[in-house]
DNA sequence: AAGTGGTCTAGACCACTTT
DNA sequence: AAGTGGTCTAGACCACTTC
């Protein structure tokens, strides 16, 4: 009896899955997509935390009452989206920002010479404030809602190269203080993930060229009107929920923004 | 008799495949990767041309003497890499630059307002010259080899916005003339693909902010030193062969370079 | 009705890691 | 030896397109 389980009314205890193949319901989706959604829910809810091992394919297949191949296809997509990482012989792990591997997915600035060590961070300012209209719109919150503002400088080899200004929803990052940010070693997204349970999944960037204003010029130790890369980023967590607005200025005299067009 | 064909010395007429699973040879690779390589060869050789239908999965499975599932996995990857396009019920087609769909994979500049119509092109210059050292290095040819140089302006809504300078290997683009470029309607990569049999597969870009020099300022009708986006692209064809160097300047006062970080 | 890609299953064996 | 992901097969049925 090949074919489906959650389908035609098939076998045993009806799984929590909506209709499989052979269905014409308006909300139809393939079984593996439903499995993928269920796994994503467990990731989002924190049932399996970043860095942890998730259940094996066989185990998940039993739990969801589908074949291993179907679970496999679901995990394949999650892996392609960088939500999980597969390791042959060991298992499948929840992706985390605490890895050299993940660092550069969200930092496209590279040294012209090729060697790209991780930059030093210096926090300049951290404060709570009411969200300006435009920030609120990007974060999908109400104008005037509490947001946390962070300003910092990143340096390569001692040379100030990046000015970052971040806005985070106050609700999600309640206990975030300057001290915590300063004492923390490692990537900021790692801190957000472990301390606040918010994981950045993907981001969208708008890149422009602008001239340095007086403030930027002072911070980067360059002349006013020096051309800089302006990078406006919105980062999203599970469920395409926007959780960070970041406006950065990149000094590109010895570095460049690297991008691959597939 | 499950398992392999091209493997342990199995059944009938030995396929042209190198060893499948269960092999410890130094050059081992999974069967579906070998199939993928064979299909890629047929694409590269022009056996199936851009826009054309390739043989069905069943047919390819017979030809290569593997299961349909193995062919499927090979094509899955080719599809993910945008080398082919699958269409349910119709078949699998060789990807082509002659589609609205493909246009914006290689043009990341978008209007701030969202509406992104395709720009107008104006060819300024086309000439043969000897490759400067740096261009030659990027194109993996000898310094002094013949290259074709193209300079053009792209305009959005009548406003000059992009200056492009291209270098192409002379050997690959022998009959390319200014007339042909000017009279051609549609994307330049489409022309390269149909007229010269060279298809751009992927590209790598380095983005910087620089100030407009006198020449750029005149062409874009802006002031000298206006900040511009400098985009240096190297495009690759099959087999990671570099076939285009492009240096562009983007005016980003009303447009931005859009990038998604996965 | 026939052909195509898309989904799902079941089972085998492989490569890799850990016990 | 046992467990995990990775590959491969064979066969069923589905959704979509074309004849």
Which domain covers residue A136, as residue numbers? 109-257
In DSSP terms, which residues pair with A168 in a beta bridge?
A: A148
Secondary element (H or E) of residue B100: helix B100-103
Counted domains in chain B = 2
**B151 in a domain, yes or no?**
yes
Q: What is the pLDDT of residue A87?
A: 98
Domain boundary among B33, B63, B94: B94
Hey, are the CB atoms on A210 and B225 less than 8 Å from each other?
no
Query: At a CB cut-off of 8 Å and minimum separation 6, what does B228 contact?
Result: A209, A227, B209, B210, B211, B212, B216, B220, B249, B250, B251, B252
- With an 8 Å Cβ cutoff, the interface of chain A facing chain B consists of 80-82, 105-106, 108, 202-211, 225, 227-229, 232-233, 250, 252, 256-262
SS3 A43: helix
Find all residues with CB under 8 Å of B49, minimum gap 6, and list them. B94
Q: How crowded is the C-beta side of A241, counted as CA atoms within 13 Å? A: 11
Same domain, B135 and B219: yes
Whole-angstrom distance, CA of residue A207 vs CA of residue A203: 13
Contact B258 A205 (CB under 8 A): yes
- Same structural domain, A43 and A123: no
Both B161 and B238 in one domain: the answer is: yes
Is the pTM here over 0.95, yes or no? no
Q: Is residue B17 part of a domain?
A: yes
**Is B101 contained in some domain?**
no
Q: What is the pLDDT of residue A18?
A: 44
Asked whether the predicted pLDDT for residue B150 surpasses 90, the reply is yes
CATH of the domain at A203: 3.40.1410.10
As a whole number of angstroms, the longest Cα–Cα distance in chain A is: 75
B22 touches strand D (CB under 7 A): no
Q: Assess whether A133 (CB) lies less than 7 A from strand D.
A: no
On whether residue B74 sits in a domain, the answer given is yes
- The shortest C-alpha distance from A13 to chain B (Å) reads 30
Please say whether the dihedral angle defined by the alpha carbons of residues B34, B35, B36 and B37, taken in this order, is positive or negative. Answer: positive
To the nearest 10°, report the CA torsion of B248, B257, B116, B189.
40
Q: CB within 8 A of A182, min separation 6: which ones?
A: A123
Q: Which residue has the tokens 């390791």?
A: A87
Interval B167-214: pLDDT, tens: 999 999 999 999 999 999 889 999 999 999 999 999 999 999 999 999
Q: Is residue B102 part of a domain?
A: no
Residues B146 and B230 in one domain: yes
pLDDT at B27: 58
Mark whether B86 and B124 lie in a shared domain: no
Residues B148 and B80 in one domain: no
Closest by CA position to A148, among listed A223, A24, A245: A245
Question: Is position A70 within any domain?
Answer: yes
What is the pLDDT, as a whole number, of residue B25? Answer: 43
Q: Are residues A190 and A160 in the same domain?
A: yes
B14 pLDDT more than 80: no
User: Does a structural domain hold residue A52?
Assistant: yes
Separation in Å, CA of B65 to nearest CA in chain A: 23
CA neighbours closer than 13 Å in the CB half-sphere of residue A207: 29
Please indicate whether residue B15 or residue B218 has the higher confidence score (pLDDT): B218
pLDDT (0 to 100) of residue B16: 37
Last residue within a domain, chosen from B67, B94, B121: B94
- The shortest C-alpha distance from B158 to chain A (Å) reads 20
The DSSP string of B62-73 is HHHTS-HHHHHH
If you average pLDDT over residues B123-139, what whole number do you get? 97
Q: What is the pLDDT of residues B49-96, one digit of tens each?
A: 999 999 999 999 999 999 999 999 999 999 999 999 999 999 999 999
Q: Could you check: is the Cβ of residue A185 within 7 Å of any atom of nucleic acid strand C?
A: no
B141 and B36 in a common domain: no
Give the percent of chain B with pLDDT over 90: 83
Residue A14 confidence (pLDDT): 32
For position A27, what pLDDT does the model report?
58
The CA distance from B10 to B152, in Å, is: 58
**Within this chain, do residues B21 and B50 fall inside the same structural domain, yes or no?**
yes
Q: The domain that contains B52 carries what CATH number?
A: 1.10.10.10
**CB B5 under 7 Å to nucleic chain D:** yes
Q: Choose the final residue of a domain: B25, B60, B94.
A: B94
Q: What is the length of chain A?
A: 262
Residue B36 has pLDDT above 70, yes or no: yes
pLDDT at res. A28: 78
Nearest residue on chain B to A211, alpha-carbon basis:
B227
Instruction: Find which of A107, A112, A207 to mutate to test the B interface (most B CBs within 10 Å of its CB).
Output: A207
Q: B72 and B48, same structural domain? A: yes
Based on the domain organization, do B79 and B164 belong to the same domain?
no
Residue A255 backbone class (left: φ over 0; alpha: ψ -120 to 50; beta: rest)? beta
Alpha helix segments (H runs only) across B123-251: 133-139, 178-183, 188-196, 214-220
Which residue ranges in chain A fall short of pLDDT 70? Answer: 1-27
Strand partners, A258: B206
Assign A121 to helix, strand or coil: strand
Q: Is the residue at A103 inside a domain?
A: no
- The answer to whether B88 CB sits below 7 Å from nucleic acid chain C is yes
Q: Report CA dihedral (A30, A33, A38, A40) to the nearest 10 degrees.
A: -170
Q: Do A133 and A231 lie in a common domain?
A: yes
């Amino acid at each position: 009896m090949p074919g489906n389980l959650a389908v035609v009314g098939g076998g045993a205890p009806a799984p929590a899955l909506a209709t499989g193949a052979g269905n014409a319901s308006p909300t139809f989706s393939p079984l593996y997509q439903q499995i993928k959604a269920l796994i994503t829910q467990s990731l989002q809810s924190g049932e399996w935390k970043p860095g942890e091992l998730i259940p094996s394919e066989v185990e998940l297949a039993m739990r969801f009452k589908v074949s291993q191949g179907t679970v496999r296809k679901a995990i394949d997509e999650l892996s392609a989206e960088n939500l999980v990482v597969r390791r042959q012989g060991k298992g499948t792990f929840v992706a985390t920002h605490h890895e050299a591997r993940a660092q550069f997915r969200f930092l496209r600035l590279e040294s012209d010479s090729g060697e790209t060590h991780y930059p030093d961070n210096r926090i300049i300012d951290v404060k709570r404030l009411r969200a300006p209209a435009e920030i609120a719109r990007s974060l999908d919150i109400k104008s005037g809602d509490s947001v946390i503002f962070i300003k910092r400088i990143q340096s390569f080899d001692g040379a100030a190269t990046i000015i970052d200004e971040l806005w985070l929803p106050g609700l999600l990052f309640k206990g975030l203080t300057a001290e915590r940010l300063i004492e923390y070693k490692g990537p900021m997204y790692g801190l957000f993930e472990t301390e606040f349970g918010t994981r950045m999944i993907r981001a969208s960037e708008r890149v422009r060229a602008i001239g340095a204003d007086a403030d930027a010029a002072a911070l980067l130790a360059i002349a006013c009107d020096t051309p800089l890369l302006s990078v406006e980023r919105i980062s999203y967590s599970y469920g395409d929920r926007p959780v960070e607005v970041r406006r950065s200025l990149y000094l590109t005299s010895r570095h460049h923004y690297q991008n691959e067009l597939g």
